[in-house]
Amino acid sequence: MLVSRRRVALLERLAARPPVDRARLAALIAFTEPDDRGATVHRGVRCVPPWHRVVVAPTGAERLERLPEKSLSPLDLSPDDAADALWSTLRSAIRRGAAGARKVAVLAGGGVDSSGVLAATLAEMRGARQAEVTAIALDFAGPGDDRPYMRELAAELGIVPVRVAPSMAGRFVRAALVLDSAPYALADAGCSLAMLRAARDIGAERVITGAGGDDLLDGDPSCLADEARRGRVWSATRAAARLQVIAGTTAGGRIARYVVQPLVAPLVPAGVRGMRRRFRHRDTHAWAGPLLRDFLARAAERTRPPAPRDASGRLARFVSSSYLAEITELRSQLESASGVVRVDPFFDPEVVELVLRLPPHILLYGDRVRGLYRHALRGRVPDRVRLRPDKADFETALLEQLDAAGGFPALADLARMEALHDLGLVEPRAFAAAYDELARTALDTDQWILLWPALAAEAFARAWS
């Protein structure tokens, strides 16, 4: 058995190049949980899923073993105490992640999550640790412009950030489609690499990010349906109507989405839900080849168990999620390509466990998504930053980095999907039409998300065949 943290190092040790695992590549293109959680895009090369370990017996026999589930007791804290505990635990996670580093960089552009991480890092390093801290900000205009917030944050914290324009990422766009000998499925890889290289150039030994903050700290507004189930229908309805979310919605729309739909969903037969998912995949992946269509059909039939109500169940679901596995893989790919160690404190086990032990509704403190986290930042970042009602649209940055690489024509050869067609994954003519449509409507968020994994998979398949 050969083991390595970096895929490229492992593959170099193999006597023969392993073939492409088409089923795993299909899951990556669809950005959906694979049939086999341990599979990689290289057949015969497996990964260890989160919350698992490989046990090797004295005889040399190997087995994959899931770690024991942790039992978490719920926390009954006031909003003030919960917010203070969150801030303290975040600082502890940063302290552990930066241990031994003399210089750290924080990727922070003015968003709520990264602003809090920057403030926590400065508070920690300006105390007993005395490590040098530099902020790296992706600097671009567009809807939800981060730059005014970053200026106010920098002035408040007394720092001068290093600004990285998306155009500086142009030279990474093509190469970043395949990192550590595997497709990198997110379109922001060029910008991410540009910021990590900027951190490396200034001598940073760790790069701290706000990744995962929205997933962990947003809170799940559908918890309001639980209140309705307990008979407090008016209270749940009023809370949904008042709730402030990032995306613009109406009060009626929020009531329907967060109260009515969760109550009605269990009454819809599983077959009907699967049929809806199949039709949705048929629309979003109209360019799918036969093998990808088969995978999407299987994925549509999967039944998702109901959300657990207790802290231990929420933790078990989080650590076994395909989302956590994907984030772990993407982080490893960026580290391999940049040579910089990345620290994501919102994925720190103590931070995750604290949040999951709290009652779900407390995360919506103040009738705001991410409300408890915003409350934890009171007096630590400017109110205009912590209470901002919007967030930056990243599509402008994606377009700027692609323009610097030569625009959509620079990837037109990949859009022909020759290798993925040979693998039975993509119909080239339909994909080319979708790619041309993206070039015409370059700020369409959904199309960037849908098409980029296929472009990365095509670049990988060509390099690996």
Residue 215: pLDDT over 60: yes
- Let me know if residue 95 belongs to a domain: yes
Distance of CA 5 to the CA centre of its chain: 20
Q: Residue 194: which residues within 8 A CB-CB, separation 6 or more?
A: 164, 166, 168, 169, 172, 401
Taking CA atoms, 1 is separated from 53, 61, 62, in Å, by 14, 10, 9
- Let me know if residue 90 belongs to a domain: yes
Taking CA atoms, 284 is separated from 29, 166, 275, 293, 449, in Å, by 12, 28, 14, 11, 10
Q: By C-alpha distance, which of 455, 418, 419 is closest to 434?
A: 455
- Which pLDDT score, from 0 to 100, does residue 281 have? 61
Number of domain units in the chain? 1
- Let me know if residue 241 belongs to a domain: no
The more confident residue out of 51 and 42 is 42
- Which pLDDT score, from 0 to 100, does residue 54 have? 83
- Which pLDDT score, from 0 to 100, does residue 277 have? 56
The 10s digit of each residue's pLDDT in 373-382 is 999 999 999 9
Where in the sequence is the domain holding 122, given as residue range(s)? 79-217+317-386
The 10s digit of each residue's pLDDT in 165-209 is 999 999 999 999 999 999 999 999 999 999 999 999 999 999 999
How far apart are the C-alpha atoms of 180 and 332, rounded to whole Å?
8
- Which pLDDT score, from 0 to 100, does residue 280 have? 63
Q: How confident is the model at residue 5 (pLDDT cuts 50, 70, 90)?
A: confident
Least-confidence region, from 16-20, 321-325, 402-406? 321-325
Q: How confident is the model at residue 68 (pLDDT cuts 50, 70, 90)?
A: confident
- Which pLDDT score, from 0 to 100, does residue 33 have? 87
- Let me know if residue 353 belongs to a domain: yes
Give SS3 for 306: coil
CATH number of the domain enclosing 119: 3.40.50.620
The 10s digit of each residue's pLDDT in 313-361 is 888 888 888 888 888 889 999 999 999 999 999 999 999 999 999 999 9
Residues 447/438, Cβ–Cβ less than 8 Å: yes
- Let me know if residue 128 belongs to a domain: yes
Residue 362: pLDDT over 80: yes
Q: How confident is the model at residue 257 (pLDDT cuts 50, 70, 90)?
A: confident
Mean confidence (pLDDT) of the chain: 89
- The letter for the amino acid at 378 is R
pTM: 0.90
- Let me know if residue 140 belongs to a domain: yes
- Let me know if residue 38 belongs to a domain: no
- Let me know if residue 359 belongs to a domain: yes
How far apart are the C-alpha atoms of 144 and 392, rounded to whole Å?
4
